[in-house]
């Protein structure tokens, strides 16, 4: 197989794996009543490789993943549970949007990102027995200190 074919095969595998993990974790985390759509897209200038947009009052969520930006050996369970924690913490953002300044919203987003990460790491450890170092978050905390 040439590298392009290999990359395409790997992308197809990842798409299947992510879609399967979304169904599995939606059941495990009791999000069955949510309408969760998964899309694979290109983020352009946005950060990261996973994103969650949702309307909590309508129990509708769109999870988007940019497979080109995804680091090799990304753990799909961790990725999906992380985005699901964004679904569950969304009321915080919806409430904050009503009265916070842009700077306050940025701080809240950062704190929420940290909470989402810390909780998802613990859930994946408890349920799937996988251990993840808090590395990802150390990097972000350093970024924040530069402000
Ligand atoms: Zn996140």
The rounded Å distance from CA 6 to ligand 1 centre is 28
The rounded Å distance from CA 110 to ligand 1 centre is 9
The rounded Å distance from CA 2 to ligand 1 centre is 34
Q: Taking the chain, what is the end-to-end CA distance rounded to the nearest angstrom?
A: 46
The rounded Å distance from CA 116 to ligand 1 centre is 7
- Domain residues for the domain of 73 are 3-145
| pLDDT tens per residue across span 10-33 | 899 999 999 999 999 999 999 999
Q: How many residues does the chain have?
A: 147
Greater pLDDT, 12 or 46 = 12
What are 5's two structure tokens?
């074919």
The total number of structural domains that make up the chain = 1
Q: How confident is the model at residue 87 (pLDDT cuts 50, 70, 90)?
A: very high
Share above pLDDT 90 across residues of the chain, in percent, rounded to a whole number: 66
Q: What local confidence, expressed as pLDDT, does residue 59 receive?
A: 94
Its pTM surpasses 0.75 = yes
The rounded Å distance from CA 62 to ligand 1 centre is 13
Q: How confident is the model at residue 45 (pLDDT cuts 50, 70, 90)?
A: confident
Q: Angle, nearest 10°, between helix axes 3-28 and 76-96?
A: 60
The Cβ-side half-sphere exposure at 97, using a 13 Å CA radius, reads 6
Task: Report angle CA 54, 89, 15 to the nearest 5 degrees.
Answer: 55
What are 106's two structure tokens?
């940025």
The rounded Å distance from CA 5 to ligand 1 centre is 30
Residue 143 has pLDDT above 60, yes or no: no
The rounded Å distance from CA 85 to ligand 1 centre is 8
Q: What local confidence, expressed as pLDDT, does residue 1 receive?
A: 63
The rounded Å distance from CA 112 to ligand 1 centre is 8
């Amino acid at each position: 197989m040439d590298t392009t074919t290999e990359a395409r095969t790997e992308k197809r595998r990842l798409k299947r794996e992510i879609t399967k993990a979304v169904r599995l974790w939606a059941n495990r985390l009791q999000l069955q009543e949510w309408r969760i759509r998964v899309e694979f897209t290109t983020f352009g200038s946005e950060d990261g490789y996973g994103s969650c947009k949702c309307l909590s009052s309508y129990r509708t969520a769109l999870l988007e993943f940019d497979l080109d930006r995804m680091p090799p050996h990304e753990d799909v369970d961790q990725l999906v549970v992380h985005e699901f924690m964004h679904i569950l913490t969304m009321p915080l953002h919806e409430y904050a949007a009503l009265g916070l300044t842009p700077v306050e919203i940025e701080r809240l987003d950062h704190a929420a990102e940290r909470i989402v990460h810390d909780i998802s790491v613990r859930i994946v450890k408890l349920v799937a027995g996988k251990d993840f170092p808090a590395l990802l978050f150390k990097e972000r905390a350093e970024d924040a200190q530069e402000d």
